[in-house]
Amino acid sequence: MKNLFDVSGKVAVVSGGSSGIGFMMAQGLLENGAKVYITARKVARLEEAQKELSAYGDCVAIPSDLSNLEGIEGFVAELSKHEDKLDILINNAGAVWSAPIDDFPEAGWDKIMDINVKGLFFMTQKCLPLLKAAGSKEDPARVINIASINGIRNSGMTTYSYTASKSAVVNLTTHLATDLVDRNILVNAIAPGYFPSQMTKAIVENDAMTQYALSKIPCGRMGSPEDIAGTALYLSSRASAFVCGHTIVVDGGQIATA
């Protein structure tokens, strides 16, 4: 039973690792001995994150736009120059769009679906040869999709495409899991609640909105880096080798009381 949560020597990709939840999970993996590739569009922020994360271990930055096939193929081609296997793929890159229902624009639908759903699917597809090379029956390779509690219950916000995209992530996770398990690749998801990040900056920086958000969280606080990294480490390690196709809710009790 010793070292059940060990990820040392493993190779991981965290998409959207330059910021927020992705950065937190990348730090957790690095501090526990994994080599971590991070990717995002904005090069300056990505390089800054890579420098910060390098204090914890071997972190490599590869810029990419994962919302289209060309960007995904470019990323995987670059990754393949450095690695012949991939133990852990965390599909975390994502975006949100909010607008009243009467005015919700097509661009706000397509942009969110392209990165949150299409990008996640094709990133997984293009990484399959590397994942297959890493997995064994005893310790399969891992795909961890980042969903959201907003894909499970009605958030009450006008983020229509985000809601649909995150529900899609939950269901796609079970579908991919059943199709990939015989290749020794386990697929699971995490549905975070409220964590500080660029995406939630407007709430975090507004006292009234923060108080309102906190009043809905039974644990009385937002998520910490340890909360999300701990679940990512569990789903990345031998400890979860018999967990297949599930979404773990990490939300301080919001769904439980919804």
Ligand X SMILES: NC(=O)c1ccc[n+]([C@@H]2O[C@H](COP(=O)([O-])OP(=O)(O)OC[C@H]3O[C@@H](n4cnc5c(N)ncnc54)[C@H](OP(=O)(O)O)[C@@H]3O)[C@@H](O)[C@H]2O)c1
Residues that bind ligand X (CB under 6 A): 15-16, 18-22, 40-42, 45, 64-67, 92-95, 115, 146, 148, 192, 194-195, 197-200
Task: State the residue number with the nearest CB to ligand X.
Answer: 20
Residues 6+ apart with CB under 8 A from 133: 84, 85, 86
Q: Which residue number, 140 or 192, has a Cβ lying nearer to ligand X?
A: 192
Q: Rounded to whole angstroms, how far apart are CA atoms 215 and 139?
A: 40
DSSP state, residue 197? S
Q: How far lies 147's CA from each of 9, 116, 169, 182, in Å?
A: 27, 9, 6, 24
Q: Which residue number, 37 or 135, has a Cβ lying nearer to ligand X?
A: 37
DSSP string across 210-221: HHHHHHT-TTSS
Q: Which residue number, 94 or 135, has a Cβ lying nearer to ligand X?
A: 94
Residues serving a catalytic function are 162
Place of tokens 């969903």: 147
